[in-house]
């Protein structure tokens, strides 16, 4: 995926809205995967570049890279099939081709994580999975005095996620929020693991991945900072619409609750202007010409109406 999305805005400001997150949650997984595939192929057809996965129905996190297709076009990168065998200075691929005189091989194996500075009983890692309540708290401690912040892979920015985690953790440490019983926390962890395996398969790269918007709301609910949409629809419908269809970011969790910020509403309504502000280094006069696209749409609508009445007259 390109970092640049619709109208040149960053991809996550377009992808991570409550409306789109709701669609991804309610639609069948096959439909969601098809929609994401179509979105990726709008930029360039991955099949033409040899980048389409053999099994595209196994969900993986997308790669954000603006340089790859252009480097493929001018020959700086060559896409190959799976490596079958490595020789002293060459590689044999499963399609029978051979690459000679190879200098360096980089193994993109991903990461494993551990906590060698802690006792194994405190934070236990098994098959690259950590048993933590909502990816933060060990469930078996007598007192909630230990938390892991940022040990998560959101499909989005880590900073809003880690910030909300920290806000919740500090309130737990202060005694302003309490955790449920150990049994409840263990059951929650089991359900999360089952859900991840069901959606993504037993892939190590997915063990700590979350639905970005849902997880932020889940954390905000713990500290009383989640926006109340029912109330906002009556008190401030314009803001409610912006929250639902606009980018989901940290400003939304400063509207109410602890850490409330008076400037949050204004920041939400002006965030797109501030995204584009650094790009406005060249002054341009506003065009007063009537947009051609709107004119074509109007003419097309008139043509449909005229055709409809003509059909009625002839019948």
The domains of the chain are located at: 6-78, 79-109, 125-277
* Residue-by-residue pLDDT tens, the chain, 315 positions: 888 888 889 988 988 999 999 988 888 888 888 888 888 888 889 889 988 877 766 656 778 889 999 999 999 999 998 899 999 999 999 999 999 999 999 988 877 888 888 887 788 887 777 888 999 999 888 888 999 999 888 888 899 999 999 999 999 999 999 999 989 998 888 887 666 544 444 444 445 678 899 999 999 999 999 999 889 989 999 999 999 999 999 999 999 999 999 999 999 999 999 998 998 888 887 765 556 667 777 877 787 777 667 766 665
Q: Cβ of 188: how many Cβ atoms within 10 Å? A: 14
Catalogue the E-assigned strands of the chain. 83-86, 91-93, 98-99, 125-126, 129-130, 153-154, 209-210
- Distance between CA atoms of residues 270 and 15, nearest Å: 18
Give the tokens for residue 182.
Answer: 């150990």
Q: Tell me the pTM.
A: 0.80
**pLDDT of the residue at 313:** 67
**pLDDT of the residue at 173:** 95
The single-letter DSSP state of residue 285 is P
- Distance between CA atoms of residues 3 and 22, nearest Å: 22
Exposure b/e, 34-52, CB count within 10 A at least 16 = b: eebeebbeeebeeeeeeee
Q: What angle do CA 165, 170, 174 make, to 5 degrees?
A: 150
- Distance between CA atoms of residues 51 and 277, nearest Å: 35
**pLDDT of the residue at 153:** 81
């Amino acid at each position: 995926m390109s970092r640049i999305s619709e109208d040149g805005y960053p991809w996550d400001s377009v992808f991570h809205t409550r409306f789109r997150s709701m669609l991804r949650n309610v639609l069948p997984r096959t439909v969601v995967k098809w929609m994401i595939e179509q979105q990726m192929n709008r930029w360039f057809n991955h099949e033409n570049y040899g980048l389409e996965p053999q099994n595209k129905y196994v969900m993986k996190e997308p790669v954000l890279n603006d340089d790859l297709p252009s480097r493929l076009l001018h020959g700086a990168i060559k896409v190959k099939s799976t490596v079958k065998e490595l020789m002293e200075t060459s590689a044999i691929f499963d399609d029978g081709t051979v690459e000679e005189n190879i200098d360096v091989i980089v193994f993109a194996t991903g990461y494993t994580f551990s906590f060698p500075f802690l006792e194994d009983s405190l934070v236990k890692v098994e098959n690259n999975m950590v048993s933590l309540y909502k990816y933060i708290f060990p469930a078996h401690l007598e007192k909630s005095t230990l938390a892991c912040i940022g040990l998560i892979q959101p499909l989005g920015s880590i900073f809003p996620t880690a910030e909300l985690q920290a806000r919740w953790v500090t309130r737990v440490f202060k005694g302003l929020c309490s955790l449920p019983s150990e049994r409840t926390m263990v059951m929650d962890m089991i359900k999360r693991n089952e859900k991840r395996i069901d959606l993504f398969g037993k892939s190590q790269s997915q063990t700590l991945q979350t639905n970005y918007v849902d997880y932020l709301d889940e954390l905000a609910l713990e500290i009383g900072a989640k926006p109340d949409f029912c109330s906002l629809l009556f008190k401030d419908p314009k803001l409610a619409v912006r929250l639902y269809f606009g980018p989901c970011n940290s400003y939304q969790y400063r509207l109410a609750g602890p850490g409330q910020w008076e400037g949050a509403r204004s920041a939400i309504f002006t965030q797109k202007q501030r995204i584009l502000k650094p790009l406005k280094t060249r002054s341009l006069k506003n065009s007063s010409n009537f947009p051609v696209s709107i004119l074509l749409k109007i003419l097309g609508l008139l043509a449909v109406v005229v055709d409809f009445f003509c059909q009625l007259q002839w019948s």
